[in-house]
Amino acid sequence: SWEVAVLNFSKKHGNFSGKGDSGAAIFNAQGKLAAILHSGMPRGMSNHVTFGTPGHYIVELVKERYPHADFERLKFDA
């Protein structure tokens, strides 16, 4: 299986994710969906690592079920 790993920059920073964050969207610097968070590892002796399901895979699954789903829209009509 494929996973997206999010590594903390250094031990000085807090954890990227915590308990209860599963299902949260992780976005890249361009504002695009990078992953859906599913787990993390405690820091212990190393930097904290968060794992997610790749965003492109999530979009693919949603489009299979909902073929008209639009993930590129920037504005919504009221």
- For 27-77, write each residue's pLDDT tens digit: 999 888 999 999 877 656 456 788 999 999 999 999 999 999 988 777 777
Structure tokens at 31: 């504002």
Task: Find out whether 51 and 39 touch, Cβ atoms under 8 Å.
Answer: yes
Query: How many Cβ atoms are within 10 Å of 50's Cβ, its own excluded?
Result: 22
Looking at residue 76, its pLDDT comes to: 77
The closest of 20, 24, 15, 17 to 53, measured between CA atoms, is 24
What's the whole-model pTM score? 0.75
Pairwise pLDDT comparison (10 vs 69), residue with the higher score = 69
